[in-house]
């Protein structure tokens, strides 16, 4: 990120030579501490800042990819993300929650607030790193500690936030190869922020973590919209003894969807097996047991994300300056419901003959007798006619 406390002021010795050789600019989440150390201004809570990852920005600077150090911030117990590309923050700067007019001055852009909320709802902090990685379908985690996975999940979440807020300035770049010597030099450059163990910074390890970060980044950029739960169609018709459906559960960002039904019907799948829970896109039918209207109720849980914005000021030789705006989230769950109905009509009756059983047999027998009598009379009359001739 662009920094107000200039990084160039502290580029000396091996670090400066490294950057000259690599030909990259350096950008830091929250910036590096400048030659003029920040002085806390006013009351508030000191921020804790730790290096989470070092990534590359696909947006070139002087024809080269820019190195971006991603720092995780904690304000008290709250994990906080950078949502301000232009300002700086140093470890132990003091923050307070922005409220009232101050909150308006640091508010997220109205056209991006929904996307930022969705990213934070699915990212690290509102979920564990294991949950984020599993939801993103990411595998190949062997050899990484839980602390490594937390850093990966944080960096992927932060990268998605940056790209959403300033797409013209940041797009994550995940290279296929990288020079091992440059990675080792990069690790040494950040020893002030994170002790580097022997062998910790190497090309294979760096590439593996950055590919995982890229997986989280891409997953979170696809999380849009607000939670919703519906059943479609909303109504259906059938007859007692038959099935009505199919009905489809549409659960966007809603989990643990359970299904219940009123008396007069049962919920079954296409094979007639009982259904009590379904995921998004799952289908069910209503088995009509009695005449009347059957009500189906789907109930699930969705996350409610409340974003807190944090702000403050720091002092250097030129005066007071605004600190980088940070965002943390409070997560609660709420129940959401949806309904549909199925109307079960009485089964139609089968048409019946007016006379059945023994009376029919009697009628047939009587008909046979009458035919026989008629035939006899015809023969007698014919004989008489012949005799008269």
pLDDT in tens, 370-381: 555 555 545 545
Residue with tokens 């008629």: 374
Residue with tokens 């564990």: 128
pLDDT for residue 21: 33
Q: Is 147 helix (H, G, I), strand (E, B) or coil?
A: helix
pLDDT at position 254 over 60? yes
Selection from 164, 59, 170, 67 nearest residue 122 by Cα? 164
The answer to whether residues 304 and 335 touch, using CB atoms and an 8 Å cutoff, is no
Second CATH level (architecture) for the domain 228-305+337-345: Sandwich (2.60)
Q: Strand 228-232 to strand 78-82: parallel, antiparallel, or no bridges (unpaired)?
A: unpaired
For 1-57, the pLDDT digits (tens) are 443 332 222 223 333 333 333 333 344 443 333 323 444 445 689 999 998 998 989
Give the pLDDT mean for 54-63: 76
Domain map (residue ranges) of the chain: 8-225+307-333, 228-305+337-345
Q: In the structure encoding, which two tokens stand for residue 345, read together?
A: 């009509």
pLDDT for residue 374: 56
pLDDT at position 321 over 50? yes
Cα 259 to Cα 23: distance, rounded to the nearest angstrom: 60
pLDDT for residue 182: 73
Strand partners, 88: 323
pLDDT confidence tier of residue 364, bands split at 50, 70 and 90 = low
pLDDT confidence tier of residue 236, bands split at 50, 70 and 90 = very high
How big is the chain, counted in residues?
A: 389
Q: Strand 228-232 to strand 319-322: parallel, antiparallel, or no bridges (unpaired)?
A: unpaired
pLDDT at position 71 over 80? yes
Q: Strand 326-345 to strand 292-311: parallel, antiparallel, or no bridges (unpaired)?
A: antiparallel
Residues sharing a CB contact under 8 Å with residue 386, sequence separation 6 or more, in sequence order? none
Q: Is 250 helix (H, G, I), strand (E, B) or coil?
A: strand
């Amino acid at each position: 990120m662009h920094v107000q406390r200039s990084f160039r002021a502290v580029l000396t010795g091996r670090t400066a030579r490294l950057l000259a050789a690599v030909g990259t600019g350096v950008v830091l989440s929250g910036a590096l501490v400048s030659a003029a150390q920040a002085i806390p201004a006013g009351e508030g809570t000191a921020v804790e800042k730790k290096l989470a990852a070092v990534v590359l920005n696909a947006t070139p600077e002087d024809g080269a990819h820019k190195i971006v150090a991603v720092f995780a911030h904690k304000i008290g117990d709250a994990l906080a993300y950078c949502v301000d590309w232009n300002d700086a923050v140093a470890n132990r700067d003091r923050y307070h929650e922005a409220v009232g007019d101050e909150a308006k001055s640091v508010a997220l852009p109205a056209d991006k607030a929904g996307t930022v909320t969705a990213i934070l709802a699915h990212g690290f902090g509102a979920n564990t790193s294991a949950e984020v990685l599993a939801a993103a379908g990411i595998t190949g985690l062997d050899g990484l500690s839980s602390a490594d996975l937390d850093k990966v999940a944080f960096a992927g979440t932060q990268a998605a936030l940056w790209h959403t807020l300033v797409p013209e300035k940041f797009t994550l770049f995940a290279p296929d190869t990288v020079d091992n010597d440059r990675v080792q030099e990069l690790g040494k450059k950040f020893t002030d922020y994170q002790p580097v163990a022997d062998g910790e910074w190497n090309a294979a390890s760096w590439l593996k973590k950055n590919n995982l970060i890229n997986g989280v980044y891409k997953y979170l950029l696809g999380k849009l919209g607000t939670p919703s739960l519906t059943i479609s169609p909303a109504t259906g018709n059938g007859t007692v003894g038959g099935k009505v459906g199919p009905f489809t559960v549409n659960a966007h960002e809603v989990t643990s969807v359970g299904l219940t039904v009123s008396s007069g019907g049962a919920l079954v799948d296409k094979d007639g097996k009982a259904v009590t829970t379904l995921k998004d896109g799952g289908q069910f039918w209503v088995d009509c047991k009695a005449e009347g209207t059957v009500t189906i109720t789907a109930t699930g849980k969705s996350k409610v994300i409340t974003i807190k914005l944090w702000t403050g000021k720091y002092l250097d030789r030129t005066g007071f300056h605004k600190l980088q705006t940070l965002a943390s989230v409070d997560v609660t769950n709420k129940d959401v419901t949806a309904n549909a109905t199925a109307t079960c009509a009485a089964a139609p009756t089968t048409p019946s003959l007016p006379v059945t059983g023994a009376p029919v047999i009697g009628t047939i027998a009587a008909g046979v007798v009458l035919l026989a009598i008629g035939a006899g009379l015809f023969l007698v009359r014919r004989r008489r006619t012949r005799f008269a001739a």
